[in-house]
Every structure is written in structure tokens, then in C-alpha cells.
Amino acid sequence: MTDGSPPSAAASAPDLPGYAHLYSGKVRDLYAPLDDAGHPRTDRLLLVASDRISAFDFVLETPVPDKGEVLTRMSLWWFEQLADLVPNHVVSTDVPDAVRGRAVLVRRLDMLPVECVARAYLTGGGLREYRADGTVSGIALPDGLTDGSRLPEPLFTPSTKAPSGQHDEPMSYAQVEAAVGPDLAARARDLTTRILVRGNELAAERGIIIADTKVEFGVVDGGLVLADEVLTPDSSRFWPAEEWEPGHPQPSVDKEFVREWLLSPASGWDKASGEAPPPLPDDVIERTRAKYVEAYERLTGRSFTARGAA
């Protein structure tokens, strides 16, 4: 776990015969397939997206049904849309029944030790940096920008891969160059910003703004390969384009109802208490599930019908 709050038993990493559980993040679980001798393979990983949802840095007790499958299918769709820009780690979606639809078999890569972030709009950590000194990731920006402003051009704002439980720290471009060499640094920067630009070209037609995104790359034969998940609401900020209005925090396409309910008196939760949030009521779960499905269907033009075992 990355934040010390274990997921609920119902949502924790399943036992999968033929796979060794390696690691669980806040919302995803990693396994290694076993070879014929029962040893973990070193060239493949199984990436399983659970139905866990995080809010305000907590993994909530209540899962959102189908979330893992919706995000997996969205990510696979994006990999297709981006295939002319960058190769990706996907090997197969033929996975055990228990995780069908929500899991992908991938190439195990040597990962760049950098969280590759691109921002097209100013908010979150980027906004904090801008307010402090007028720059983001060492790049000077014009005066007068506010929460939610569109940036003059998309910025590469990399961060460290923090050990679990910690937040990522911003990295300067020079630090990325020092970590991976100038050549890979330049390619990671170009690809990350192009992925966000392409993402927004497609999402804009469907009423969604992708404010920023985090991607991860591995290296194969000296070239970059896109790994992890890509352009999902868990790796990116999705905003409803219709409601975009700079000057205040934007509602999120996916977690709007969750955050609104947790901060309302109805939840009985005090964010400042440091305590874990309470379980979500059924109607908030159902409306949030509908948001993920709607985002998937709007973006891809495909209808979502769960194939998983859920």
C-alpha cells in the first residue's frame, strides 16, 4: 500500500492460481505469471485494476463496481489511439477469469525512474509552484494565471517516484537529464506532452478536458515504451468541458459526487481529523460508477458491458 490504509477485504488483491502476487498499489495489483517450474517469470507482469477508489489520499472502504474494468478498457483504447506515437507494453488481454476485463498481461520493462507528467491546464501542485514563484518545473509562465487556466502550451513537469506512502516531489528537467541521460529525457518530454495533446484533441470532441496526466515509460533496446495505464481518470484530471471556468477548482468528471458527499455534513467526516473517511452510501457509489461508464462511452464511442467476473 502506498498510504498505509489497506483496502477492504472485499477489494484486496485476489489469489490467482498460476500467478505470484508482487505488489499492491492504492488501486492496482501486480502479479508475476509462474512458469512451468512454478517460478515467477521475469519478462511479464499481470497488471490488475481493482474497483478500489481513492479520495483525499485515502483508499475508500467501498469499491465502485466495474471501475477497474472501465479504466482498463479505456487505457487499452488509448494505447490504440496512441500506437502511431509510441509502442506500449501490452502483450495480451487473455487473463484468468477472476480478473477478466480488468487485467492486462504486459512486458516487464526497465522503467524510467521518473513520473512523466504533462500539464495543459494549471491546477494542483503546478498551481502551487506558480503561486510561489511564477514558474512550473522551472518554466516561467505569464502573470495572471489562476486555478484552471489553460497554459500557453503543454508543459512537461516531471516528478520523482516517491517511495510508498510519500508524495512525489517535483523534478527539474536537468534532474531528469542527470537521471536518464539527455537523449531519453528529451524523448520522454516530447512523448509525454504529445500524449496529452493527442488526448485532448480526441477528448475535446467528446466534452472532456484532460487537464494533466502522468505516464510511465520503460526502455527496450534504447527506445521508450509506454507502460502502466494511460489517460484514465486515475492517472489524469478529467474535467467536464461544459463547466470549465478558470478561477476556482474544477469539478472532476469521475469523483465529483464522492468528494462532494465526503465534504458534506451528511458524511459526518472531518477532512482535517486525519481519520479515514466513512464508507460511501449506495447512491453515491452508483452515481460514481455511472460517471466512469459515461466517460468511457463518450470518449470511445463504444458501449460498456461488463465482461468481467465481478
Using the contact rule CB under 6 A, the part of the chain among 24-32, 35-43, 57-65, 140-148 near ligand Q0N is: 24-32
Q: Closest residue (Cβ) to ligand Q0N?
A: 25
Among 61, 115, 228, 234, binds ligand Q0N (CB under 6 A): 228
Q: What Cα–Cα distance (Å) separates residue 296 from each residue in 71, 293, 305?
A: 8, 5, 11
Q: From the CB of 269, what's the least distance to ligand Q0N, in Å?
A: 26
Sign of CA dihedral 92, 97, 103, 105: negative
Among 111, 141, 186, 219, binds ligand Q0N (CB under 6 A): 111
Nearer CB in complex with ligand Q0N: 47/145: 47
- Burial of residue 71 (CB within 10 Å: 0-12, 13-18, 19+) is buried
Q: From the CB of 115, what's the least distance to ligand Q0N, in Å?
A: 9
Q: Which of 288, 283, 259 is nearest to 271 (CA)?
A: 259
Among 21, 41, 100, 108, binds ligand Q0N (CB under 6 A): 108
Among 89, 102, 189, 237, binds ligand Q0N (CB under 6 A): 89
Using the contact rule CB under 6 A, the part of the chain among 108-116, 171-179, 249-257, 276-284 near ligand Q0N is: 108-116
Among 11, 13, 16, 30, binds ligand Q0N (CB under 6 A): 30
Q: What secondary structure does DSSP assign to 145-190, as a single string?
A: --TTPEEEEEEE--EE-PPTTSPPPB--HHHHHHHH-HHHHHHHHH
DSSP classification of residue 241:
G
C-alpha 232/C-alpha 208 separation (Å) is: 12
Nearer CB in complex with ligand Q0N: 162/174: 162
Nearer CB in complex with ligand Q0N: 98/263: 98
Among 59, 105, 203, 227, binds ligand Q0N (CB under 6 A): 227
Residue 212 and residue 247 in contact, taking contact as beta carbons nearer than 8 Å: no
Among 5, 20, 25, 81, binds ligand Q0N (CB under 6 A): 25
Length of the chain (residues): 310
Q: Which of 237, 263, 276, 265 is nearest to 124 (CA)?
A: 237
Nearer CB in complex with ligand Q0N: 50/250: 50
Q: Is 116 in the site for ligand Q0N (CB under 6 A)?
A: no
Q: Which of 72, 87, 162 is nearest to 125 (CA)?
A: 162
List contacts with ligand Q0N (CB under 6 A). Answer: 25, 28, 30, 45, 47, 89, 106-109, 111, 216, 218, 227-228
